[in-house]
Chain A
Amino acid sequence: MDAEARSRAARALLEAYETGKPIDPLIDANPEMVLEDSYAIQLIQIEHRLAAGATIKGHKVGLTSAAMQRQMQVTQPDFGHLLDDMFHLENSTISAGTFLQPRIEPEVAFVLRRPLTGPGVTVAEAAAAIDFVLPSLELIDSRIRDWKISFFDTVADNASSGGVVLGSTPVGVQDVDLRRSGCVLYRNGEVVGTGAGGAVLGSPITSLAWLANTLGARGVTLEAGHVVLPGSITASVPVTPGDTFSATFAGIGSVTVRFAPDAPEGK
């Protein structure tokens, strides 16, 4: 894709945020699209948002489970940016119209104590850079119609990011076995997903090291105080208005998100 085509794709995605109307897969109109096009399109949107006053609060890693990678026919994860307006407080009610077609993923969020600059970051260095761990729910979303995404579409669309709800009980990374510890996701009190932290690339810390090294190759450092969502422990679950989701993480605690009952406008 040339610069013009990339910029057109970025504008279409930005417009989908504003109108709340999803767009066709980018790959349909741009069959020549490659991964570098996708990350460039993502970055154009982030720069646009930063110019409008948003700030970067961290990153997310996506496509970290064997099941998701199989589904997308990829062998690598992807990453997206977390901006300040994507963070929602745990006890607030999220109006469903905030998102186009939201889904929930339970994750163990990392908060960094010091910067991490790849490439060459080891799992040991990644673990040492974590200040504490928080229970979290990621609200993934897609600006692509009906989630009909290829790998290139989701990367261009900020790795299908939507929002984040962080729990408020910090736990030391050395106090929990992130690989073997369990997580149960409840929707309206019913179990809708279970898993172990190791479903995330073997361990969420492996995911952090991958992120640091992948960003490092692009000249980007993970900053102290930033949040990293390393990937979902269970399959994602769709949100309907009025839903309440809770996730409980062994040794880490729980986090809850509520959605307003009213159907969003235009749906």
Chain B
Amino acid sequence: MAGTGWDIDRAATALLECEAGRYDRGPITEEWPELDYDTAYAVQDETLRRRLARGEKLIGVKLGLTSRAKQKRMGIDVPLVAGLTDAMLLPAGEPVPQGKLIHPRIEPEIVFILGRDLEGPGVSAAQALSAVDLVLGGAEVIDSRYRDFKFTLPDVVADNASSGAFVTGPVALPADGLDLALEAVLVEVDGAIVDSATGAAVQGHPAEALALAVNDLGRRGKKLEAGWIVLTGGMTDAVFAPPGSSVACHFTNLGSVYLHGGPAADAADGAGA
């Protein structure tokens, strides 16, 4: 560490400054090759501590890298976990906050609301599912502080797993009787279907992703709390959401989530309204 001038504090500052200033940067690991997985979580923890210190409230977690194919590429076998604060909430109908994000992309997700605390290790998918009070459809607006979303595993862990903003859907159902492996989503961009997937794309089942995440958090002495929101991970590849675009995520049982990119630049210029 000594040779590079980097430490946890400096990495946290660099990432939060990118976020506040809406500019991207190269991977921190290029400048700080010693940044490993566990240190990266310490950086993420420090960014969260600073978010809370400026008045944001921790309201849940997002899981990242929940597809086995992506995990294999990144060399891990558990999802990433990152904190969600109330500042990331996007009320239904609001446009993607282009003014706060660098290069937002949208991913459809199955969302859990926890009915009780969940603490690993040793939590099974069945036990994790039994802690879920309600299931919703949702869409996450991911963003990365790294140029072109190019990063290594420690980089993305430090960067709060590319968190940006998120919106939850109109239907909240108890998990009983829902087969989340078969719960599908159809993604439309500007009225054209571009992709589809089911919950099985998320670690085989979103509750499997939750169990793996809770057990990994347990290893780091942390737990999930009753009432928290859990974004269980992107079901499809992310789609771009530039100004003027609209994205709809149609779920089998969880309703449709609509997002729009805000007014197109030329309309905003000429409208004068």
Interface residue ranges, A against B (CB under 8 Å): 66-67, 177, 179-184, 191, 194-199, 202, 233, 248-250
Contacts and interface: CB of A to CB of B under 8 A. Distances in A.
Nearest to A180: B252
B158 interface: no
B179 A196 contact: no
B200 A196 contact: no
Contacts of B193: 66, 198-199, 202
Contact of B196 (A191, A195, A249, A250): A195
B121 interface: no
A181 B252 contact: yes
A70 to B, nearest CB: 9
B58 interface: no
A179 B200 contact: no
Interface string B202-219: 001000000000000000
A250 B179 contact: yes
Contacts, number: 74
A248 B252 CA distance: 15
B171 interface: no
> Interface extent on B, as a size class?
20 to 34
B234 to A, nearest CB: 12
Contact of B200 (A177, A184, A202, A233): A184
Interface stretch (B146-154, B159-167, B182-190): B182-190
A182 B198 contact: yes
A83 to B, nearest CB: 30
B169 to A, nearest CB: 13
Nearest to A202: B193
A250 B180 CA distance: 10
Given A194-B201, A196-B252, A184 B195 contact: no
A114 to B, nearest CB: 29
B165 to A, nearest CB: 25
Contacts of A199: 186, 193, 195-196
B200 A181 contact: no
A164 B204 CA distance: 26
Contacts of A202: 193
A138 to B, nearest CB: 17
